[in-house]
A and B are shown apart, each in its own frame.
Chain A
Amino acid sequence: MSTPNGTAMNGATSLVKSLEAAGVDVMFGIPGGAILPAYDPIFDSTIRHILVRHEQGAGHAATGYAQVTGRAGVCIATSGPGATNLVTPLADAAMDSVPLVAITGQVPSAAIGTDAFQEADIRGITMPFTKHNYLITNPDDIPRAIAEAFHIANTGRPGPVLVDIAKDALQRATTFNWPSTVSLAGYHPHLEPDSQSISDAAALIAQSHRPVFYVGGGVIKANASRELMQLAELLGAPVVTTLMALGSFPASHPLHMGMPGMHGTVSAVTALQKSDLLITLGARFDDRVTGKLSSFAVNAKVIHADIDPAEIGKNRFADVPIVGDLKATITALIPALRSALSKNQPDLSTWLRQVNHLKSTYPLGFDIPTDGTISPQYVIQQLGKISGLDSIFVAGVGQHQMWASQFIPYEKPRTWLNSGGLGTMGYSVPAAMGAKVGAPDTTVWSIDGDGCFQMTNQELVTCALNNIPIKVAIINNESLGMVRQWQTLFYEGRYSNTSLESKRIPDFPKLADAMGCVGLSCDRPEDVDSIIEKAMSINDQPVVVDFRVHRDAMVWPMVAAGTSNDEIMIAREMAPDWDSQEL
């Protein structure tokens, strides 16, 4: 039921009608003074508004929703502190290319610049990490700004857009005019790859003897998993998927070498290092992947396909740059490569044997603690096994995040959510909430650390009250575990301010109970499976399980920050036995 153009209303109603016209079905937010006029028409809207407990929760929830649905998530907040609380999720969404539209109220236009009550220059504050942002002071501009915001957020390289609206613009009379088109002189995402680049890429691939598909989150954003599978199987080259790309290519596939980077597999890290051609698809040569950049894959030529031209050549020179939508790019590359291979089919068998030998020699693994305590990796592995690979897993940031990337074999896109670029502790619970709203029939597990959980767990109240039954596994090692790991390795075990004592305080099951969730705890390895199964059986309420795990477990393999990927360690002071490898 759309509202006809030309209908008289106030700016607030025009805003809500615009959000409806943009196809919004849910938004996460909190009202306050400056945005209050908008909450009156929200009361009558078809859009489901979920009242969160902190604006940061609204922002990450919108991100979780966007990451599972592929559609822009929407969050809404008032001026000043409401808006500044959105800063972290907006920065997070920018780093991970998440389509997000944030609506904020602003003080009345006459008060802007006077340090008015709850005034913050949120447009200025968010310029560095929004794809674009607006300050609207004229109610007639609202529909166009909303239409443009969704267009910008969803197209090209997705990203967050903020629309800040002065209170008087919400209150004043206007006529609703939803634009049938958007027209932005300075915004033309380049979607179709250049055919010359495609044939250059195909020719280069056909000459390569040690090619690797270096796959990033862009493949998931472009919904190009099927095409990637066809391309990878056509060439039969190893595939590595970055932290943001897990699930874009099935972990169980024989060509999959795992995740590259600081905590990647030996096979993935080494495949990149020894490669003669990186077929880079929607990845950005992040420092956590490359290690010391000057020593990264030094003998490799680079094909770099990305929708964002500014990513190409930013960190690493590209021999063949391809700017375009990845689905279109891979679709074009398949026949071009087939044709190139028909003329020259390189023999990749030696290369595959080498990387497969690494894969079988250095699988991911973990030690079972000898003191009878629970291994955190075991908990995460069992979550994947018992909940199954149709579930969505949403991690916080730290050791538990890395273990969740290592010990759950993601088979499908959009089943693994995490804060990759910004590394936002506190992401998990609200993002899981948003994911569950976007995929209500899917089991959603938040895998969180005891540190992260204490940053944003207030959204469990939102989940409990709004029938959003997520499941939370707290991997409780009573520490800021990753920082503690670095203190162990690089600061002589001087554990400055990393002990959280969270096996003592807070009592997580009681806290969960107080927030309307089922609270469970698990202390013994032999109870892990049955407690996961118990959590799986509760679907009418959020569940929180406090897995009280071994404190000293570390994430391996590891490439220490700033060092070369050649220095990968599989355990403390233990490098792979390179002499036994034929690389």
Chain B
Amino acid sequence: MSTHTLAVLVENSPGVLARVAGLFSRRAYNIDSLAVGPTENPNISRMTIVINVENHALEQVIRQLDKLINVIHIAEVKPLESIQSELLLVKISATNSLKAEVERVVDSFGAKIVDWDDQSMTIEATGDPEKIANLLTAVGTFGIRELVQSGLVALERGSSALSDRTLSAQSIPTADGGQADYQN
């Protein structure tokens, strides 16, 4: 089993998330995370799906996903060839007296304190999963009251864009389909 990140361009239409999630569920593919949001094109949404599968199963996942009519393009995004990032919001038990100490930890991760009162502080951080895990370990010593994480999003490095290679729909005449040679 190994982890793979898929970038999936889908039509921005109702039910698409249910179709994708349902496919993973009924074919027993395990999703580690799924993030979805709008893109530069209002008709297209982009999903970033992290899955944990055998290598030969990855191809199956991609081919099954590709059968969904609303799925326009699928690409595997390799960690070394892409920017991969998660968002973390974590609320820690830290009184104001500890603020300087917390700030020092937070700064070292390029994160920031976005809310505080006399009982707690909330830290916002972005980065790859490893960095987020390390930050959580570091602030864990203060005591974690609550945390929320987004799924991973990923974008390939360099100037190319997924949508460059994909968004060409052919027009096909609406003739009556399939003439069978009945009992040929």
Give the CA-CA distance A179 to B10 in the complex, in Å: 23
Pick from A135, A185, A310: contact of B60, CB below 8 A: A310
B74: min CB distance to chain A, Å? 10
Contact A187 B69 (CB under 8 A): yes
Given contacts A186-B70, A313-B60, contact A70 B178 (CB under 8 A): yes
- B119 surroundings in chain A (CB, below 8 A): none
B76-90 residues with Cβ-Cβ distance < 8 A to A are none
A541 to B121, CA, bound (A): 82
Q: How far is the CB of A53 from chain B (nearest CB, A)?
A: 27
A residues in contact with B167, CB < 8 Å? 185
Q: Is the beta-carbon distance between B64 and A310 smaller than 8 angstroms?
A: yes
Closest Cβ of chain A to B36, distance in Å, is: 16
Residues of chain B lying within 8 A (CB to CB) of residue A155: 172, 177-178
In the complex, per-residue mask of A129-168: 1 if CB is within 8 Å of any chain B CB, else 0: 0011001000000000001001111110010000000000
Stretch at the interface among B13-21, B94-102, B108-116, B142-150: B13-21
Near A by CB (< 8 A), chain B positions 7-62 give: 10-11, 14-15, 18-19, 22, 26, 56, 59-60
- Measured in the bound complex, the distance between the Cα atoms of B72 and A450 in whole Å is 47
The residues of B with any CB-CB pair to A shorter than 8 Å are 10-11, 14-15, 18-19, 22, 26, 56, 59-60, 63-64, 66-73, 166-174, 176-184
Other contacts beyond A72-B177, A223-B180: 20, CB < 8 A: A71-B179, A124-B18, A127-B19, A128-B22, A132-B69, A150-B176, A151-B172, A152-B69, A180-B173, A180-B174, A181-B174, A184-B69, A186-B70, A187-B69, A313-B56, A313-B60, A314-B60, A317-B56, A412-B183, A415-B183
Top 5 A-B residue pairs of the complex, sorted by shortest distance between their CB atoms: A70-B180, A154-B177, A23-B176, A181-B171, A310-B63
Q: Is A225 an interface residue (CB 8 A)?
A: yes
Can you list 12 A-B contacts with CB-CB less than 8 angstroms, sorted by A residue number? Answer: A70-B178, A99-B177, A131-B67, A147-B174, A151-B177, A186-B11, A186-B68, A223-B181, A312-B63, A313-B59, A412-B184, A413-B183
B63 CB contacts on chain A under 8 angstroms: 309-310, 312
Question: Does A390 lie at the interface of the complex (its beta carbon under 8 Å from any beta carbon of B)?
Answer: yes
Q: Min CB distance, B180 to chain A, in Å?
A: 2
Q: Please give, as numbers and ranges, the residues of chain B lying within 8 Å of A497 by CB-CB distance.
A: none
Residue in B70, B73, B171 whose CB lies within 8 Å of A183: B171
Q: Which residues of B contact A314 (CB under 8 A)?
A: 60
A69 touching B182 in the complex, CB below 8 Å, given contacts A186-B11, A187-B69: yes
- Indicate if the CB atoms of B69 and A150 lie closer than 8 Å: no
Q: A99-B177, A124-B18 are in contact. Are A183 and B172 (CB under 8 A)?
A: yes
Q: How far is the CB of B53 from chain A (nearest CB, A)?
A: 13
How distant is the Cα of A146 from the Cα of B180 in the complex, in angstroms?
21
Q: How far is the CB of B116 from chain A (nearest CB, A)?
A: 40
What is the minimal beta-carbon distance from A96 to any residue of chain B, in angstroms?
15
Chain A residues lying within 8 Å of B170, measured Cβ to Cβ, are 183, 188
**Alpha-carbon gap, A308 to B59, bound state (A):** 13
In the complex, which of the residues B174, B178, B184 contacts A178, with contact meaning CB atoms closer than 8 Å? B174
A182 within 8 Å of B (CB atoms): yes
Report the interface size for chain A: residues with CB under 8 A from the other chain. 52
Given A127-B18, A313-B60, A186:B71 Cβ within 8 A: yes
Measured CB to CB, the nearest residue on chain A to B67 is A310
Given A127-B18, A128-B26; A69-B180 close (CB under 8 Å): yes
Give the complex CA separation of A185 and B26 in angstroms.
25
Q: Which of A388-417 contact B (CB under 8 A)?
A: 390, 412-415
Overall SS of chain A's interface: loop
* B residues less than 8 Å from A23 (CB atoms): 176
A158 to B170, CA, bound (A): 19
User: B11 contacts A123, CB within 8 Å?
Assistant: no
Cβ contact within 8 Å between B174 and A72 = no
Q: Which of A72, A124, A185, A226 contacts B184 (CB 8 A)?
A: A226
Contact check, B182 vs A72: say whether CB atoms are below 8 A apart: no
Question: Complex: how many Å from CA A390 to CA B182?
Answer: 11
Complex contact B178–A154 (CB within 8 A): yes
> For the complex, is A22 an interface residue (Cβ under 8 Å from B)?
yes
Q: Is the CB of A308 within 8 A of B177?
A: no
When chains A and B are docked, how far (Å) is the Cα of A226 from the Cα of B184?
A: 8
Which of B59, B68, B169 has the most A CB atoms < 10 Å from its CB?
Answer: B169
Contact in complex: A151, B174 (CB < 8 Å): yes
Q: Mark A439-450, 1 if CB is under 8 A from B, else 0.
A: 100100000000
B133 to chain A, nearest CB (A): 34
Cβ contacts under 8 Å, B70 to chain A: 132, 186
Name the CB-closest residue of A to B71. A186
Query: B173 near A99 (CB under 8 angstroms)?
Result: no
A58 at the interface (CB under 8 A from B): no
Fill in one digit per residue for A172-197: 1 if any B CB lies within 8 Å of its CB, else 0: 00000011111111111000000000
How would residues 99 to 135 of chain A score, 1 for a CB under 8 Å from any chain B CB and 0 otherwise? 1000000000000000000000001100110011001
Contact partner, B14, options A132, A135, A150, Cβ 8 Å = A135
Give the complex CA separation of A314 and B29 in angstroms: 13
Q: Does A68 contact B (CB under 8 A)?
A: yes
> Known contacts being A185-B72, A413-B184, is A150 close to B66, with CB within 8 Å?
no
Which of the residues B10, B67, B166, B172 comes within 8 Å of A182, measured between beta carbons? B172
Shortest Cβ distance from residue A213 to the other chain B in the assembled complex, whole angstroms: 18
Chain B residues within 8 Å of A68, by CB: 180, 182
CA distance A4 to B32 in the complex (A): 52
Given the complex, which residues of A lie within 8 Å of B19, measured CB to CB?
Answer: 127
Partner of A131 from the list B56, B69, B168 (CB cut-off 8 Å) is: B69
**Measured between alpha carbons, how far is A357 from B19 in the docked complex, in Å?**
51
The reply to whether B174 and A71 contact each other, CB–CB distance below 8 Å, is: no
Say yes or no: B15 contacts A135, CB within 8 Å: yes
Alpha-carbon separation in the docked complex, A223 to B179 (Å): 9
Residues from chain A with a CB closer than 8 A to the CB of B18 are: 124, 127
The distance in angstroms between the C-alpha atoms of A390 and B183, with both chains bound, is 8
